[in-house]
Copies of this chain bind each other. A is one copy, B any other.
Amino acid sequence: MGSMVIQENERGFVRVDWGRTKNMFGPENGGTRYLQINITEYSPGGEHTLHRHPNQEEVIYVLEGEGISRTKAGDQPIRSGSFVFVPADTDHATINLRKDVPLKAIIIKSPTQDRKN
């Protein structure tokens, strides 16, 4: 497939336990081979609890809100302009500290397919 340009609002959110997410590009949206790009909104007070992706790297770029990135290294504050790098097979959690607004972020993963151990 070829190049494509889309606006954030051209994709619809789906519910997840920690809020809502939409896939912007992936194998089924644009035919990517390596990149999986989502926009995720963590609900006010919400938390994506500790989990790991055995084979996928992840970068989280925070667009709006205030929260915590939790890893073995401890809790670190995140806000607009924060970048989080999570290597493959590494426990991490993301927590929205605000009770009134979502924590909005771009979630970037590669490769596109994770594989369970």
Contacts and interface: CB of A to CB of B under 8 A. Distances in A.
A16 interface: no
A82 B2 contact: no
Nearest to A81: B8
Interface string A23-64: 011000011111101000000000000000000010101000
A117 interface: no
A14 interface: no
Interface residues on A, range: 35 or more
Number of copies: 2
Contacts of A69: 3, 5
A83 B24 CA distance: 8
A9 to B, nearest CB: 7
A106 interface: yes
10 nearest A-B pairs in the assembled complex, by CB-CB distance: A34-B110, A3-B71, A8-B81, A110-B110, A5-B76, A30-B85, A25-B85, A34-B57, A24-B83, A3-B86
Given A33-B88, A35-B59, 9 more contacts: A2-B87, A3-B71, A6-B82, A6-B83, A24-B59, A25-B59, A33-B87, A34-B111, A59-B108
